[in-house]
Amino acid sequence: MLAYGGGDAGAFETLYGRHRGRLFRFILRAVKDRGVAEELFQEAWVRVIESRSRYAPKARFSTWLYTIAHNLLVDHWRKKGLSLVSLDGEDAASESANPARQAEGREALARLLHALEALPAAQREAFLLHEEGGLSVAEIAAVTGAGEEAAKSRLRYAMAKLKAAVDDN
Amino acid sequence: MTDDGDISRRYRELAREEPPRHLDDAIRAAARRAVGTRPAPLVVPTGRQRWYFPLAAAAVIVLAVAVTLHVEREQPGEEIASAPPAPAASPPLEPRAEAQAQKPQSAPQPERRRKTESAESRELRDAAPPAELQKAPEPVPTLPPAPPPVGTQDAISSAQQLAKVEGAPPPVAGAAARPAPAPKASAQLRRFEGARSAPSLSASALQSPEQWLQGLADLRKQGRHDEADRSLAEFRKRYPGYRIPEAMLEKVEKR
């Protein structure tokens, strides 16, 4: 990122190639809507580009990148009248369990994916940050702005629910 | 029972969705554009470009000075053009033409008279307040004040009467500031335009005594003694207390 901030366009290519798939899936599985996911994905990279000269390597680039994505998700949920954190307990499982949604071409998703969609948003985000972003609990806490304990708890609950979903089948 | 590692492994077996190609292209293009657009260089441009600013500044200054000078030159002309004309300075040409048409036999005379008029008498006439004109909106055709012919006593007396009627003061030295005979007098004096020597009395009436005497001396020189005698008599009537200098007296008196 520092190289790109210094004018090296090739450095951006490297960064983008490394993070594009993971970031896209993180967003897609968080919002569960491809159109919205593409929009937020593009906006996240635009912010990266615009912040190239102000970037300071205080943490890993992925932490900074997923922080941007997280903020975009928060804005997205806020616009929809929802709060990412408030969904810590009960989630919008009813929406994800909608058969019609499953019929929208999501046949490729396995039961795990179905269980993932059924997770509360905060837990799902913690899981996705861990799996797609490769972030540690501390980094998840930094990205989401939550305490480490809360991040650890969310990740643990997410894992437990996914295990239960897989074991049940 | 699955552990966390198993969940992660299963998760990675899921479909690996990727962003669409057009989105990749758009983002990469935006990144390249952002790198390509750099802020303007703070270094002073060299070569030919270094002359652009001074040249433009000089051109602007020259243009501003030229416009200012041009405007200053044009303003006096505008003032003159906008100045109101003197009330009696220029009698209308058309009335004069009408007067000439009415009296075709005397048409050439105004020209002659104009030549003999001195500049001073013209100024006096021009400065005369057009009392009649102010009362009557219709412009009175004002010919140059025709004096009574020196050669006829009637003319002299008529001129005197006119002067009395109009209240015009006798033409004395320094009378330039006083009003000259009114246009009405001028109209009446037109009756004497046929006389050959009319201009001389008119001029005399408007001249200073010294000028009048000088005119008398000229008449003597030219051998026009009759006219000179009449003019002298008129002069003495007009200026009874005037003491003619000895040197001038020799020139104007009958030899």
Q: Give the whole-angstrom CA distance, residue B149 versus residue B154.
A: 8
Q: Give the CA count within 13 Å in the CB-facing half-sphere of B60.
A: 6
Coil vs helix vs strand at A154? helix
Residue ranges in chain A modelled with pLDDT below 70: 81-110, 168-169
CA distance A149 to chain B (A): 18
Domains and CATH numbers, chain A: 2-168 (1.20.140)
A49 and B7 within 8 Å at the Cβ level: the answer is: no
Q: Which of B8, B15, B28 minimises the CB distance to A109?
A: B15
Report CB contact under 8 Å: B2, A167. yes
CA distance B35 to chain A (A): 5
Count of domains in chain B? 1
Mutate to test the interface with A, among B27, B32, B33, B38 (most CBs of A within 10 A): B27
The reply to whether A163 touches chain B by the CB within 8 Å rule is yes
Confirm whether B61 is domain-assigned.
no
Query: A163 contacts in B (CB within 8 Å)?
Result: 1-3, 6-7
Give residue B184's domain range.
113-252
Cβ atoms of A1 and A55 within 8 Å: the answer is: yes
C-alpha separations of A136 from A102, B12, B106, B179 in Å? 31, 17, 126, 115
**What single-letter DSSP state applies at residue B87?**
T
ipTM computed for the complex: 0.71
Cα→Cα distances B14→A31, A68, A110, A116, B60, Å: 17, 25, 7, 11, 71
Q: Note the pLDDT of residue B66.
A: 93
CB B4 to CB A159 under 8 A? yes
Cβ contact A16–B27 (<8 Å): yes
Tens-binned pLDDT, residue by residue, of chain B (255 aa)? 456 777 787 787 776 788 888 888 888 888 888 887 654 455 555 666 667 788 899 999 999 999 999 998 887 655 555 544 444 444 444 444 444 444 444 444 444 444 444 444 444 444 444 444 334 443 333 444 444 444 445 544 544 554 444 444 444 444 444 444 444 444 444 444 444 444 455 555 567 888 888 888 888 888 888 888 888 888 888 888 888 888 888 888 866
Position B208 scores a pLDDT of 83
**pLDDT score, position B163:** 47
Residues 6+ apart with CB under 8 A from B156: B148, B150, B201, B230, B234
Among chain B residues, CA nearest to A161: B7
Cβ distance of A166 and B8 shorter than 8 Å: no
C-alpha B96: how far from chain center: 22
Q: Among A46, A44, A51, which residue's Cα sits nearest to residue A23? A: A44
Question: How many whole angstroms separate alpha carbon A102 and alpha carbon B186?
Answer: 120
pLDDT value of position B131: 40
- A111 Cα to chain B: minimum distance (Å): 10
